[in-house]
A and B are shown apart, each in its own frame.
Chain A
Amino acid sequence: MARIDLKNLSIHFGGFKAVDDVSLTVNDGEFAVYLGPSGCGKTTTLRAIAGLVSATSGDILFDGKRVNDLRPSERNIAMVFQFVSLYPHLSIAENIIFPLKARGVAKADIARKLDWVTGIFKLGDDLRRYPSALPPGARQKVALARAVIREPAALLLDEPLSAIDEQFREEMRWELGHLQRELGVTTIYVTHDQREAMSLADRIVLMNHSKIVQVAKPDTIFFQPSSVFAGQFIGSPSMNLIDLVPVSGGFRLGASEVVLTHAELPEAVIRNPRALKLGVRPRDVRLVSGAGHPLPVVDVFSVGREKYFAFRIGDTIHQGFDTLTDSTPGGVVFAPDGLMFFDAETGMRLETGRIAA
Chain B
Amino acid sequence: MSAARNKAIDHLGRWLLLGLLLIYTVYNLGPILWLMISSLKGRADLFAMPPTWIFTPDLTGYQSVFGVGAARESASSFGVFDSLVNSVIVSSVGTTLAVLLGTLAGYVCSRFDFRGKGDFLFFVLSTRMLPPVAVLVFYHIMFAKLGLADTRTGLVLISVFANVGLATWIMKGFFDSVPREVEQIAIVSGYSRLYAFRHLVLPMVKGGIAATAGFCFIFAWNEFAFSSILTTTQAKTLPVKISTASGATGIEWTQICAAGVVLIIPVLIFFYLIRKHLLMGMTFGVLGRS
Contacts and interface: CB of A to CB of B under 8 A. Distances in A.
Do any CB atoms of chain A lie under 8 A from CB atoms of chain B in the complex? yes
Contacts of B3: 68-70
B189 interface: no
Interface string B1-18: 101001100000000000
The interface residues of chain A, by DSSP majority, are classed as loop
A22 to B, nearest CB: 22
Q: Which of the four size classes fits the interface of chain A?
A: under 10
A68 B3 CA distance: 9
Q: Which of the four size classes fits the interface of chain B?
A: under 10
A69 B1 CA distance: 11
Interface in B1-48: 1, 3, 6-7
A70 B6 CA distance: 8
Contacts of A71: 6
Contacts of A182: none
A335 B6 CA distance: 61
A71 B7 CA distance: 10
Contacts of B7: 69
Contacts of A74: 1, 6
Contacts of B1: 70, 74
Interface string A40-72: 000000000000000000000000000011110
A102 to B, nearest CB: 15
A69 B8 CA distance: 12
Contacts of A68: 3
A69 B3 CA distance: 5
Nearest to A70: B3
B76 to A, nearest CB: 61
A71 B3 CA distance: 8
A68 B7 CA distance: 12
A294 B1 CA distance: 71
A71 B10 CA distance: 11
B99 to A, nearest CB: 37
Interface in B67-107: none
Nearest to A74: B1
A120 to B, nearest CB: 31
The 6 A-B residue pairs with the shortest CB-CB distance, nearest first, are A69-B3, A74-B1, A71-B6, A70-B3, A69-B6, A69-B7
Interface of A: 68-71, 74
10 contacts: A68-B3, A69-B3, A69-B6, A69-B7, A70-B1, A70-B3, A70-B6, A71-B6, A74-B1, A74-B6
Given A68-B3, A70-B1, 8 more contacts: A69-B3, A69-B6, A69-B7, A70-B3, A70-B6, A71-B6, A74-B1, A74-B6
